[in-house]
Amino acid sequence: MARGFIDCHCHMSANEFTQVRKLPKSSTLLCTSYLKDLNDVILRAKKAGVKALVAVTEGAGEFERVIKLSKVYPGFVFPCFGIHPLQGSGQDLHSVKIQIGLDFTPWFAQTTQERDEQIKVFIKQLEISKELDLPVNVHSRSAAKVTITTMKEQGIRQALLHNFAGKPSVAMEGVQAGFCFSFPPAVVRNEQRAKLIKQIPLEHICLETDSPALGLNKDVRNEPQNIMICCEYIAKLKGVSLDRVMEVTTQNAFRLFSKLKV
């Protein structure tokens, strides 16, 4: 088994990771900042010890780009197809594979009808994952209880609940069902999440960055190289070594995503 980190949830097909050339010094543009080339992002991740990225989509429009990335970086970028809960209506689900979930935050789901629509799309994607015998990589916000209950009712066995923010008691229901949980760098600022991480057994925790979002500084683009921040924080909360967290979370990732070959 490869020694290193697995970023189990990042968005490498996001617009923030497009190739943009550096502006010349002679440029008259006021803004001199620019996005680094995606290849530089990948190189920094590898230098930081990342062995694989699970590249998650949010909509069908990103599928082709993720497939291309997996071909450009074989054995490092692994596609994770799916539709974000806020983009589920009206999209073709026949080729959807993994990344799914529910988002019941008030500004997105104000009515029972809106929540029910999300649940329908969620269940449809869960059914597809079972047909293809693939794990699910789940977005859950303000819907932890419903998300875990629905997955259990649908007979899901292999699941990662990314950036999980539910109650510890709800998380333990997921642990009992065999699910895993992951947390991005931004959680180091959240005391509630610290209590949650302390209670979830390390054998049910994976690492993620959720790049380009949820880094330490919300105004700075997050990258997979920041996976060490997650590892250090979990090690501190658990009172174990960095090597122990790296070893166990990587084992968890390989067990969950059986198609990872690095």
**CATH at 82:** 3.20.20.140
Confidence of residue 88 (pLDDT cuts 50, 70, 90): very low
- Looking at residue 19, its pLDDT comes to 47
- Looking at residue 86, its pLDDT comes to 58
| Token representation of residue 255 | 């067990």
Confidence of residue 97 (pLDDT cuts 50, 70, 90): very low
Task: Please say if the pLDDT value at position 235 is more than 50.
Answer: yes
Closest to 185 (Cα-Cα) out of 217, 141, 219, 230: 230
Q: Total structural domains in the chain?
A: 1
- Domain containing 42 equals 5-18+37-256
Confidence of residue 1 (pLDDT cuts 50, 70, 90): low
Task: Please say if the pLDDT value at position 16 is more than 90.
Answer: no
Asked if the structure places residue 32 within a domain, the reply is no
Task: Please say if the pLDDT value at position 244 is more than 90.
Answer: yes
Confidence of residue 85 (pLDDT cuts 50, 70, 90): low
If you average pLDDT over each of 53-67, 98-112, 232-246, which comes out highest? 232-246
| Token representation of residue 205 | 């925790």
d(CA 74, CA 96): 21
Chain centroid, CA 106 distance in Å:
22
Look at strands 180-183 and 136-141 and give their pairing. Answer: unpaired
Specify the higher pLDDT residue, 35 or 162: 162
Asked if the structure places residue 172 within a domain, the reply is yes
Mean pLDDT of 177-185: 97
Residue bearing tokens 């996976």: 227
d(CA 98, CA 256): 12
d(CA 216, CA 27): 31
Which of 48-57, 124-133, 168-177 is the least confident region?
A: 124-133
If you average pLDDT over each of 30-34, 100-104, 123-127, which comes out highest? 123-127
Q: Cβ(67)–Cβ(15) under 8 Å?
A: no
Average model confidence (pLDDT) across the chain: 84
Confidence of residue 15 (pLDDT cuts 50, 70, 90): confident
Mean pLDDT of 82-98: 51
| Token representation of residue 240 | 């174990």
Mean pLDDT of 41-58: 94
Closest to 188 (Cα-Cα) out of 227, 218, 244, 229: 229
- Looking at residue 109, its pLDDT comes to 62
Indicate the SS3 state at residue 16: helix
Confidence of residue 148 (pLDDT cuts 50, 70, 90): very high
- Looking at residue 219, its pLDDT comes to 87
Specify the higher pLDDT residue, 28 or 65: 65
Residue 101: how many CB atoms within 10 A of its CB?
Answer: 26
What is the number of alpha carbons within 13 Å of residue 205 lying toward its C-beta?
A: 22
d(CA 199, CA 33): 41
For residue 149, report the phi and psi dihedrals to the nearest 5 degrees: -60, -45
